[in-house]
Structure 1
Amino acid sequence: MTPDEVSLAASKLIEVERVDAAILLLSMATHSEHPLDPECLLETLETVMKLPAPRQKELRERIDQHHIQELIGYLQNQSSGDYECRLATIEWFFLPLLGEFSIHSPKTLHSQLEKSPKFFIELLSVADHVQQEPTQEEKNRVEYAYHLLHGWKTIPGTEPDGKIQEEKLRQWCEEVRQLARKTNRLGICDSKLGELFAHAPSDPDGTWPCEAVREIVEEIGTEELGKGLYYGIVNSRGVAWGTGGEEEHELATQFRSKAEKISFDHPFVGEILENVSQCYELQANHCKEEARWEG
């Protein structure tokens, strides 16, 4: 089938309320060498969003969610700003399908976070605001906002080559913190910034975190930011079992070395890394003690 024939067939299927078949058809067509009409994919996904809740539930039971992920991924790869707002809305609606275990992430929403400090604070406000008796829709918004922020790992100011432009990052942080101060959320904002900075790249010589992030963390220097960075580093490792303490001891050594390397010029960051090192040393001793009792 040609791209035009695919679009026509998908439209006809939607007309007879076979949106599941339209999704399957378009998903298969994304693997063709012929480019598809993005408008057709957008309209198909937007049709799903407009379905009544019972019909959406029925659709989830009838179709593999992977097909929807493929349509979103295809649209993301077109790199067109013509429908960025529509795609962002689609990503928000289907956010549970774009989590850490999916091959596709909410790239458009993440891009908006980089470009818009206001959007970052809006999400932070939603994630931090819990109603006494929330509706299911309100619960979903809180959950979506939390997971979108938690899954975002690209530092603002990051260039295509991976290098972070310090001035761009500084400007973004200043705007974010100014907005957070107005909404009495500066503490949680700094904490979230710290968590984000835990995903910073290294300098070309291997120094971590990179100089741009070290400078910004040092300038802000709040307790909340420090705690956010600390827990962001520790939690990024995940859960490890049965290491006997060797892995933890190696991590402690690595972070102590990182701390020593930067402490003179960036003492605040160095202290955080030293605290991380001490945390891993305690874990190493605990694992060794457990292994001794079990052995």
Structure 2
Amino acid sequence: MPDYVDRCAAAVSEEKVVPLLTSAPFDRATWAVVDSFDSDVRTAYWRELPPNWNRDEDDLLVGVTHLLKAIRPRAAFRLAHFSMKKLPPLVLFDLLAAIARGSDETANTYQLDRHGLREAFRRLNESADVKTDAMAGLEFAFIDIFDDGEARPENLEKEIARNPELFVQAVGFAFKRSDDNEDSSELRLDDSNQKSNRARSAYKLVDVIALIPGRKDDGTIDSADSVRWIEQARAGYATIAREDVGDQMLGKLLSHAPADDDGVWPCLPVRDTLEKVMTEHIGRGLHTALFNSRGVTWRGSGGDQERERATGYARGAEAMQYTHPRVAAVHRDMERTYLCHVEREDTDAKANRRLIR
């Protein structure tokens, strides 16, 4: 076959040689023929080639490398989609980084899917060949794939849990100042599209992270470390006039704390933390996040579902009313919210029953 391709390529006109070569088998034998031509033909081949699946590991690496040089990272990812295990981790990292930078590929071609991208991140995390901070940057570039709870930006969460300034920066990017002053140069962007895209990504970041500051490798949470992180974060976003919204995002983050051994939310270290740092807007963030995290709802008899949740929060308030009164107040607030919904659902159920009769 390579001799046949070689003879055919030598026989056709210059304008037909690239279409001929891109129609030939997608393997090193064809690429050897491609390499016998000048740089214009070689460049045109890799820019126009529709990459096909190849079983050979060496062929895969060569194909991905050339497609990256041709600034076609999405095509390279499609080529590697079913064979990511064959790619060296650092090559896979470079491939994702190239996708994040953008490409010369035609719009709506070689579309990326969440499953494939998540698999790539899983492979990179398992390899441990890429540093955490580099992986964190890559996760931020692909923050959209983490917004449904099916996967976590693990490295980004770890970096933020180590450095509250990253949380402050994200709050600064995502939200506007609460006063009329101007931000420093670090937060400003002149390009409105870039500014909008950065704000959207930063908002998704503070919306999806769930690693509680102060959490250790064994899963326990050090309340003193949590308090120190929170105090640094609050001081940081206060200086950029985002104190209220920053506290709300902080409340949302702390809402991800696990329940304690007694089944009451949150666990004791986070109760201790909240008792020291609670503000009005942290409470608002907690309330909104807890209500939104109630998951799939079902409709029983009137407000039975809401009544059950109200009872659970009442139980939590009673368990903490003397030891952690600020956290107990959050539970009471949640109880009142659900009791309002109980009344509404009971009223609707009675009205429906009357209509049925």
TM-score w.r.t. length of structure 1: 0.86
Q: Is the 8 A contact 1:226 1:272 kept in 2?
A: yes
CA distance in 2, matches of 1:143, 1:118: 19
Structure 1 gaps, min length 5: none
More helix by percentage? 1
User: Map of 1:53-202 to 2, 5 A cutoff?
Assistant: 55=105, 57-59=107-109, 61=111, 63-80=112-129, 82-100=130-148, 103-129=150-176, 135-202=192-259
> Using the alignment, how far apart are the partners of 2:306 and 2:155 within structure 1?
37
The alpha-carbon deviation at position 201 of structure 1 amounts to: 0.9
Question: Who is 1:281 aligned against?
Answer: 339
Q: Distance in 2 between matches of 1:21 and 1:195?
A: 38
Q: What's the offset of the Cα at 1:239?
A: 6.7
Residues 161-217 of structure 1: per-residue CA shift (max 9 Å, x gap) = 432111221221121122123223222222222222211112223232111111121
In 2: Cα distance, 1:134 partner to 1:287 partner:
48
* Segment drifting more, 207-216 vs 146-155: 207-216
Matched residue type, 1:39: L
Is the 8 Å Cα contact of residues 168 and 233 (structure 2) preserved in structure 1? yes
Q: Secondary structure at the match of 2:108?
A: helix
Counterpart CA distance in 2 for 1:167 and 1:22 is 47
SS at 2:107 equivalent: helix
Greater C-alpha Rg? 2
Are the structure 2 counterparts of residues 245 and 171 from structure 1 closer, same or farther at C-alpha, using a change threshold of 3 Å? same
For the aligned residue pairs, the C-alpha RMSD in angstroms reads 2.6
In structure 2, give the amino acid aligned to 1:155: I
Identity value in percent: 27
Higher mean C-alpha deviation, range 154-163 or range 280-289 = 154-163
In the alignment, what sits opposite 2:98? 47
- What is the alpha-carbon distance in structure 2 between the residues aligned to residue 9 and residue 22 of structure 1? 7
The structure-2 alpha-carbon separation of the partners of 1:64 and 1:181, relative to structure 1 and needing over 3 Å to count, comes to closer
Q: 1:22 aligns to what?
A: 76
List aligned pairs for 1:229-240, cutoff 5 A. Answer: 229-238=286-295, 240=297
CA distance in 2, matches of 1:121, 1:17: 34
Greater mean alpha carbon deviation, residues 276-285 or residues 159-168:
159-168
CA distance in 2, matches of 1:135, 1:55: 24
Counterpart residue identity of residue 115, structure 1: R
Cα separation, partners in 2 of 1:179 and 1:260, compared to 1, 3 Å: same
State the Cα distance separating 1:231 from its structure 2 match: 1.8
User: For 1:30-83, what per-residue CA distance to the aligned partner results, in whole angstroms no more than 9, with x for missing partners?
Assistant: 3x4x6x41111122122223334x63733454x545333322232133234x43
Write the letter of the residue equivalent to 1:127.
A
Are 2:263 and 1:214 equivalent residues in the alignment? no
Please give the per-residue CA displacement for 1:122-175, whole angstroms capped at 9, x wherever unaligned.
0001111289x9722211111111111111112111223432111221221121
Where does the alignment leave 5 or more consecutive residues of structure 2 unmatched?
A: 1-54, 178-187
TM-aligned CA distance change 1:88 to 1:241, over 3 Å: same
Check conservation: 1:23, 1:68, Cα contact below 8 A: no
In structure 2, what is the Cα distance between the partners aligned to 1:15 and 1:194? Answer: 45
- Pick 1 or 2: higher relative contact order, CA cutoff 8 A, min separation 6: 1
Return the offset for 1:259.
Answer: 0.6
Match of 1:257 in 2: 315
Cα separation, partners in 2 of 1:77 and 1:233, compared to 1, 3 Å? same
Distance of aligned partners of 1:227 and 1:20 in 2 relative to their CA distance in 1, 3 Å threshold? closer
The alignment covers a number of residue pairs equal to 287
